[in-house]
């Protein structure tokens, strides 16, 4: 059971870092069409990155 909890913590950390990097990337590129905040978690899906 301990290993599963550790894996969940690792996934949460990766998602947090990914969200921070994605936010910094969006700010850096300054897209003409600003992405609504609720769509940020969907950035992993197809077409979600919008680079």
DSSP label of 35: P
Domain boundaries, the chain: 2-43
* Average pLDDT for 28-48: 54
Whether 34 contacts 25, CB under 8 Å: no
* Average pLDDT for 4-26: 79
The mean of the pLDDT values for the chain is: 66
DSSP label of 36: P
Q: Which residue has the higher pLDDT, 22 or 8?
A: 8
């Amino acid at each position: 059971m301990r290993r599963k909890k550790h894996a969940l913590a690792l996934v949460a950390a990766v998602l947090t870092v990914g969200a921070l990097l994605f936010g910094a990337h969006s700010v850096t590129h300054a897209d003409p069409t600003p992405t609504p905040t609720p769509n940020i978690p969907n950035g992993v899906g197809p077409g979600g990155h919008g680079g």
